[in-house]
Amino acid sequence: MDSFRVLFSVVVMCSHFRFLKSLEEEAKRPGCAPFFCGALGNIGFPFTNSTHPDCGLFIVGDCERPTQKIKFNKATEWYHIYSISQSDSLTIIDQHLNKTVHNHSCTAFSNLSLPSSSFFTLKITPSITLFKCPSGVTLQSDFKYTNCPDFNIYYNRTQDSLPKDVPENCSIIQLPRKFTPAVNTEDVFSLLRDSIYVNVEVSDDCTNCYYQQKGRCEDGVNGAFHCAGAAKGSGITALILMCILTFFIWFYHKAKLQSSNISALDASELQSINYGLPIFSYKELEKATNHFDLNKELGDGGFGTVYHGILQDGREVAVKRLYENTFKRVKIFMNEIEILTRLRHKNLVTLYGCTSHLSRELLLLYEYVPNGTVAYHLYGKHARVNPLSWSTRMTIAIETASALAYLHASDIIHRDVKTANILLDKNYTVKVADFGLSRLFPSDATHITTAPQGTPGYLDPEYHFFYKLTGKSDVYSFGVVLIELISSMPPIDMKRQNNQINLANFAISQIQSGSLSELVDPALGYTSDRAIRGMINCVAELSFRCLQQNSEMRPNMEEVLAVLQGSASEKYETQYAEDVTEEVMTARKHPSLEQLMLKSCSEHHLN
């Protein structure tokens, strides 16, 4: 066991050293500095522009226009792009798919033409597999869509229950699937997304070629990877590569670890991560979720799907099922267990248990939170029927801030704060969830250097561009949440006008121009209720502070919580309702008054 830990530590150390070396080399590569590109901000490798095509893999264009576009190689078309994360994902629009899905057109049922290469992978997540068969051909499946004139579409509830015997004249199609479960699964269009969430993975060979050898990544003879124009490798690069290669071979033969199989990790190592949690069998949780029935889905994200389940003792639970048991997913699984078992707070979701290291799949078991996500209540299908009152939204903001302040006091950064990860119980009490990306933060550190992970629209610019993760990264994301509570708008929406696609940017513009009333959800009574207007004005000012590009200009979570608690007080409501708007707009025009503005907001409720 000790040798396993030593080995794992060395591999992580080598990989981390290589990553830091890459960051150092990036600054030394002439002519390949990150560049500014419209709403996408500053971006760099693997993205580049047409002026410097050798500085990246994917060309991004129209940086001077409101909406940008991306091209994956010379042969592919341009795609509109409205969010980008340099390490993880990007969200693009295929014009044909967007139009045909929106119009429920049968021409939507064709595979997307995303390229593949020896040095990068583009994976649509999540996706749904469809089977397109001529009208006279039948296929055993859970659902059948028959509204197309020449063919039928067959599909199943889950991806792991696909038909084994598919007729040759049936084509297999993969299309982007919605993150949240559809109410009517018999209508295939209710399952499809009109935008594409793509995970981008660049191979280690290509990363080394670009950063270390100053070369270009190409597909060589017989499709093999080739580093064109590479400079002579340094001794440290060779040493690092030899380190990784040597220990990978030892790791594979000694521990028989395969990246797609959790059982490859040493049993006692995995057993130790349970931290005393109750262990549930796979069969028990499979039965509880009715074999992971699609109709039992509660939510769907980048790493797994959550299902509603009922245990044999009658308890309602939420079961998280990872997409794949890759090594990265195992680390996320272990991380969430470690984080949640050391925390106790009324506004954090409770972890009930997990499957054992011998289970065929990794499953986590949580308390069931029946009222769904804040995102669903703000802009879901039924949001307009029964909208959240302002008092409920203030309570959500305060309780979420309380949970995040507790995390930060416990040296933990959530790293994926968003309304889809804020759940509401039967009493509309907040339960912050999804700690798979969370990080332990050393108390004596100013920041952590790590590749950006999170959700487009919520990602801290400093973390995105400079790999600096701090507690203020959560503060930025929480600022977006505050704007969502004020506006009832999602953080990214391609259906909005170009200058409104990114909610954070739109909100900053509205506050600076004195047009806050145009941002506020009309259902909140902003123009008719003096007390509500005062609270919304102060929350808008607080969100503006949270969304500052420079993290040093943002308040910490304890300060955020104090302002929110004070802004909900009766004294604050009566004193501050009328005069804040003019003061806020004056402060926006005179940046030197911004600190005074937040101080004024606080003094109204702290005195």
Give the residue numbers of the binding site for ATP. Answer: 320
Secondary structure (DSSP) of 473-540: HHHHHHHHHHHHHHH---SB-TTS-GGGSBHHHHHHHHHHTT-HHHHS-GGG-TTT-HHHHHHHHHHH
> Which residues contribute to the annotated binding site?
320
Place of tokens 């580049």: 48
Residue 159 is classified by DSSP as: G
E-only strand ranges, 215-369: 216-219, 225-228, 279-280, 297-300, 304-310, 316-322, 351-355, 363-367
From CA 520, how far away is CA 535, in angstroms rounded?
A: 12
From CA 573, how far away is CA 518, in angstroms rounded?
A: 21
From CA 523, how far away is CA 271, in angstroms rounded?
A: 51
For residue 47, what is the enclosing H or E element? strand 47-48
CA atoms within 13 A on the CB side of 215: 19
Long-range pairs for 592-599: beta carbons < 8 A, 24 or more residues apart: 594/545, 594/553, 597/541, 598/541, 598/542, 598/545, 598/555, 598/563
From CA 128, how far away is CA 260, in angstroms rounded?
A: 20
Active site residues: 416
C-alpha triplet 465, 302, 305: angle, nearest 5°: 160
Q: What is the β-pairing status of strands 47-48 and 58-61?
A: parallel
Q: How far apart are the first and last CA of the chain?
A: 59
CA atoms within 13 A on the CB side of 19: 12
Residue 385 is classified by DSSP as: T
Q: Show the tokens assigned to 511.
A: 């506050």
Angstrom distances, CA of residue 553 to CA of 445, 472, 546, 548, 595: 19, 9, 8, 6, 9
Q: Show the tokens assigned to 64.
A: 């001077």
Question: Among residues 98, 85, 39, 92, which one has the least CA distance to residue 65?
Answer: 39
